[in-house]
Amino acid sequence: MASAGNLLYLFDSFVALRPVYSKKFRSATQLMPIDRKPEFFKGAQLKVAIIGCGYVGLPLALRFAEAGHKVTGFDTDPNKVNMLNAGRSYIEHIPQTKIQQFVNSRHFGATTDFARLKEADAILICVPTPLDERREPDLSYVEQTAISIQPHLQKGQLVVLESTTYPGTTEELVLPILEKSGLRCPIVTGPENDNVACDFWLAFSPEREDPGNKQFGLAQIPKVVGGLNPPSGRAAVSLYAQVVARVVPVSSTRAAEMAKLLENIFRCVNIAMVNELKMLSLRMGIDIWEVIDAAATKPFGFMPFYPGPGLGGHCIPVDPYYLSWKAREYDFSTRFIELAGEVNTAMPYHVVDAIAAALNNHKKSLNGAKVLILGVAYKKDVDDLRESPTLKIMQLLQQRGAQLDYNDPYFPKLHKMRHYNYENMKSVPLNPQTLGSYDAVIVATDHSSYDYSAIVDAAKLVVDTRNATRRVMRHRDKIVLC
């Protein structure tokens, strides 16, 4: 049986064939019944617009396409748009074949033309939310996106912000810009507002994408959803229920925004704690990784976190500061976040001191030593450099006079970045001769493709920041854990 959405599509195609009516009927406003209900998003084949086709937006777009919807990716980067329309991937773990499949079946295409937003039933915003130079929230991408949507906003559209941000962003930043269209979406909660009138629906639903995680893909990860009012919440729940196994409604956009920050602050604080305990354990001659494995056998009340060379990625080093910043408005100091930040920021310095001490034991000074870094990505098996602690470690090593090379299978060469200039560096090949020519080899990122036994066999000294060499049996005297 044809669903309501399919009928709309048939209707759309039909009027497109009739030039006399096409202009009149083509805008989404006219295509949408005036009495469209939030539950419209439950069953129909929908037109879904994803703004921002990056690590979060692209997998989400492909998931909606997989579920049979018509998806358009909007991005300001014309190179990405061209690549997507040619069926090509620019993210390592997203297979080209998947993009090709949906481009060929016309379930997915990309554009830089934001006027086409008016054709969409649902608009999902997945643009960056970084920190600025003063480490304060930079909401310019979200703001710019809301400004791009506003002239094209239609009655009956659902808009969802997915970018990680502080509680209040959807209400205080996105809503006022969208309402400049003249369309309204009231901020109200409670059952008495179950059927409050809305021209469009607005919600927040944080993304929990974990790039490269083979155990939990988007479809298996429950999605938290908070609406600006009950109908907005129901519309967003109906939409996401089509693509994820479980949707978790909360009472407001603020609760949904805060839930995402709680998740990331939880990780940030626990990683800081275990990093601090690692430094103490090193001093006490205790193997912290053995300790964590032992503690993790407790079947309740404990969750293992692992130490490392510092925080990396787009989320954990950044997101907690969104809350610290917002907390100031309430005369509140988020001390756990500040303390965790302090400990985690110190880790690359700790690693460089440990490298200097290990070289010293080999009667070498760091100044003038040949050092090879393994892994520049912020975590194993991803082609993502954002906030990678390795970049800081490399900078500190250079400042202290080390002669530096690196290897990373995901980065054949490095480019100029904010704060760092590694423009002319190229990944050196890994073979016994090259490995043996360095005074120290540093395991900064524990990519699975590395043969750690062969690395330890060939190297003079291995400084391991991730315990990647835990299964290496030979030449353990060459390994320094730090």
Secondary element (H or E) of residue 62:
helix 57-66
User: Which residues of the shown chain bind ligand NAD in the complex (CB under 6 A)?
Assistant: 51-57, 74-77, 80, 126-129, 141, 144-145, 163-164, 207, 209, 211, 314-315
Nearer to ligand NAD, 169 or 407 (CB): 169
Nearer to ligand NAD, 322 or 438 (CB): 322
Nearer to ligand NAD, 266 or 289 (CB): 266
Cα 214 from Cα 206, distance rounded (Å) = 20
CA angle, residues 323, 326, 329, in degrees to nearest 5? 150
Nearer to ligand NAD, 5 or 312 (CB): 312
Provide the minimum distance between the beta carbon of 276 and ligand NAD in the complex, in angstroms, as a whole number.
25
Name the 3-class secondary structure at 323.
Answer: helix
Which among 274, 221, 279, 229 has a CA at the least distance from the CA of 251?
Answer: 229
Give the number of other Cβ atoms within 10 Å of residue 296's Cβ: 12
Provide the minimum distance between the beta carbon of 380 and ligand NAD in the complex, in angstroms, as a whole number.
14
Catalytic residue set: 315
User: Using an 8 Å Cβ cutoff, are 353 and 180 in contact?
Assistant: no
Provide the minimum distance between the beta carbon of 57 and ligand NAD in the complex, in angstroms, as a whole number.
6
Provide the minimum distance between the beta carbon of 120 and ligand NAD in the complex, in angstroms, as a whole number.
14
What is the distance of C-alpha 97 from the center of its chain?
22
Name the 3-class secondary structure at 446.
Answer: coil
Provide the minimum distance between the beta carbon of 76 and ligand NAD in the complex, in angstroms, as a whole number.
4
Cα 311 from Cα 264, distance rounded (Å) = 12
Provide the minimum distance between the beta carbon of 80 and ligand NAD in the complex, in angstroms, as a whole number.
5
Ranked by CB distance to ligand NAD, the top (closest) residue is: 54
Nearer to ligand NAD, 54 or 227 (CB): 54
Cα 8 from Cα 363, distance rounded (Å) = 76
Cα 224 from Cα 257, distance rounded (Å) = 9
Name the 3-class secondary structure at 108.
Answer: strand
How are beta strands 420-421 and 416-417 bridged, if at all?
antiparallel
* Residues with Cβ within 8 Å of residue 151, at least 6 apart in sequence: 181
Nearer to ligand NAD, 267 or 475 (CB): 267
Cα 396 from Cα 404, distance rounded (Å) = 11
